[in-house]
Amino acid sequence: MDFFAAQDHSRRQSRRLLWLYSLAVLAVVLAVTAILGAAWYALTAQGGVAPADWLRQNGDALLLIAIGTAGLIGLAAAFRLLSLRDGGERIARELGGSEVPAGTDELLQRRLRNVVEEMAIASGIPVPRVFVLEREEGINAFAAGYRAEEAVVAVTRGALEALDRDQLQGVVAHEFSHILNGDMRLNIQLLGPLFGIMIIGHVGRLVLRSTGRVRVGSRRGRGQPLILLVAAGLVVVGLVGVWSARLIRAAVSRQREYLADASAVQFTRQPAGIAGALKKIAALAAGSRLRAADAEEVSHMLFAPGAGIARLFATHPPLLERIRRLDPAFDPRELEQLETPAPGTGDEAGETTGAWAGLTGELPAAEAAFGLAPSAVPARAGEAGEAELRIARHLHRSLPAPLYEAAHSRRAAPLLLLALALHPDAEPRAGQFTLLAGQLGRERLARIEEYSALLSRLGPQYRLALLDLAFPALRERPEPELDYFLELLGRVVEADGVLQLFEYCLSRIAAAGLRPGRPTTLRRPRPWPQLQAELQTAFAALAAHGHRHSDAAVAALRAGLAALDPSLTPSPDAALALLRLEPGWHRALDAALDRLGTLPAAQARELLAALTVAATEDGRITVAESELLRVFCAVLGCPLPPLYAAAGTQD
């Protein structure tokens, strides 16, 4: 999967859907105006007034009816989208979901959390919040949210109990592909216009009910037949409009499900996992059905259909067809032999055995060299595979218990964030401790010191993994507290007088994950020479921190800028001058990244490829370079998997 191409495709789909839904709304508005206009003509036309003359006399009034109808649809759509301003959490709770607590003792829920967290680390995105639809016996799941930083992954109780770990991993990988492909925001956006069109039918039904209570012979009932015809017409128009919207939604959704299935296989390298989950849906009586009243409305968001829908309006391809694409040798007779494991048996016990009890092996520490082609990093953006998942599982399972628990604790996560920012040397760290003691008190400072001591035993590759794990707990803090801790984090990283690269990366990634801006759907490309100052600042920071020797740093800076546009290539002397970073280099880099972060996807891909050319100029990527690339990717809106060598990883 090409992340940038997928994001561009998602934006094009959004614009195309906007036009299609606009046409559907226009058709509904014209139909409603025609119905109300015909009724008005029947009531007011006297003396055989010709329809054309009547239209000329009442054109302004009909225009007001059209505007009012469009306004009603728009207000209803806006109301629905406003009700979903909390994104995935609101949808999960509307469907009866309960959030899985971090310290859950239930083995099936812990297995689900472990799978979700491993995949988040492997793909380089903040860990989503995890929900279980406890009352749902069918096998289903969905991911929802406006951005990856705000995503929610929800799974039914039936899926937890019926699927083994590999099958559950396949289902979760399918949902992660929707997060990485940019489908989630589009899925939520589809709910607004559909609800807006539905409101016309609701109005017609309300009129029918109220008119039915009036006696035909009464004074109020004289116009009842005409009102009934109008109401019936509104109901029909509403139904046709909804059917049209559902046809549009279904056509878009079906193709995305094939892509998500393929991405899940690419992620896990286990086609049998997701294929096995689909087979169980086909074999079990509960299938993938949801009991929730809103199941049809959100059907396009689900792993499998949540309600019985006619094939013409189906948001998912036929189940057997999806299975055959994953398992060409599939025989439908296999479904008769499938068995469902009893809850709490099988591999669930392994979810806690040996996990987080201590270090089970180290990944290669800083400066580990491994070959990457310049195109490899952009190709891996928004994508993860078996190697990344194996690394993530190792990182996840080898965390000391106190750090793992702190990352999941609403109270302790901010303290862990501050511990991550502490300087490794005793003298500068003493000044940071003095600052923290004055702000937080001795008790919380003691917790930070405990976390810092544990972190000193870990390799640097654990730092961003811990930050990813801590995001859900951090977001549970009230906004004023989050603002306070982010401001305190900035003061801590500057308290020692020398800003280390990781301190900068930590504060920038934390701010991006906790204070994400809304994505811009329409971004205009700009010629690279117009961004020369910003590009020089970004490439100089990468080259200066990624290379110990000035000659190598100069070569990296010049190679990276030349990969973007040869006219940007500085002379060796000019490159050397750019590499002499001023004490406030991070502020200049912040300003540069704020502007580069508005690039469209195609240019973002070119920029990331050029940054990778600079980082791999000496044939290796250091931990410092990988962390700075993670910052660039966070700004460009694309997740980046861990860039650590898989050698030495213990599963």
Distance of CA 528 to the CA centre of its chain: 29
Residues 6+ apart with CB under 8 A from 295: 95, 289, 306, 307
For residue 144, what are the β-bridge partners? Answer: 152
Nearest to 110 by CA among 351, 318, 295, 321: 351
Could you give the residue ranges of the DSSP H alpha helices within 362-441? 376-380, 386-397, 401-407, 413-420, 426-440
Kindly report the number of other CB atoms within 10 A of residue 139's CB atom. Answer: 30
Q: What are phi and psi of 530, to 5 degrees?
A: -70, -20
Interatomic CA distance for residues 41 and 55, integer angstroms: 9
Helix (H, G, I), strand (E, B) or coil at 350: helix
Interatomic CA distance for residues 553 and 564, integer angstroms: 17
Interatomic CA distance for residues 139 and 281, integer angstroms: 6
* Cβ proximity of 303 and 288 under 8 Å: yes
Q: How big, in percent rounded to 5, are the helix, strand and coil portions of the chain?
A: 65, 5, 30
Kindly report the number of other CB atoms within 10 A of residue 377's CB atom. Answer: 25
Helix (H, G, I), strand (E, B) or coil at 99: strand
Which residue in the list 136, 149, 150, 175 is annotated as catalytic?
175
Identify whether 175 is a catalytic site residue.
yes
State the DSSP string of 468-488.
HHHHHHHHTS-HHHHHHHHHH
**156: Cα within 13 Å, side-chain hemisphere:** 28
List the 152-156 sheet strands across, edge first: 97-99, 129-133, 152-156, 141-144
Residues with a known catalytic role: 175
